[in-house]
Amino acid sequence: MLERKPRKGRTDVTFVLPADTPPGPVSVVGDFNGWQPGAHTLAPRKDGNRAVTVALPGGAEHSFRYLAAGDYWFNEEGADGHDGVNSRLRT
């Protein structure tokens, strides 16, 4: 799930997943962090989910995917679209 908060000149995007699906650590990897695994690792929240917030420039499009333990890549079902293997996000 994606949560968005528009700010002046940017959008804070929170990437949210259930606490244990998939199991183990998960990071969001995309063009906004140079496709660097571990740069934005999801952390537990009080509501039982896990999440990470990334500040992205407003009025832009980004490609991203999730990377879980065991080199398991997967997409965001609630993304704005998909281009090939990547999820797409508009801010």
Report mean pLDDT in 10-residue bins for the chain, 91 residues: 95 96 95 96 96 96 96 95 94 94
Q: Tell me the one-letter amino acid at 71.
A: D
Whole-structure pTM value: 0.94
CA angle 8, 32, 83 (to 5 degrees): 110
Assign a CATH topology to domain 2-78. Immunoglobulin-like (2.60.40)
User: In the prediction, which pLDDT does 91 show?
Assistant: 94
Q: What is the pLDDT of residue 2?
A: 96
Q: Which helix (H) or strand (E) holds 7?
A: strand 2-7
pLDDT confidence of residue 4: 96
DSSP run (H or E) holding 73: strand 72-74
Tell me, what's the pLDDT at 89? 96
Query: For the sheet containing 2-7, what is the strand order?
Result: 2-7, 10-18, 49-57, 43-44
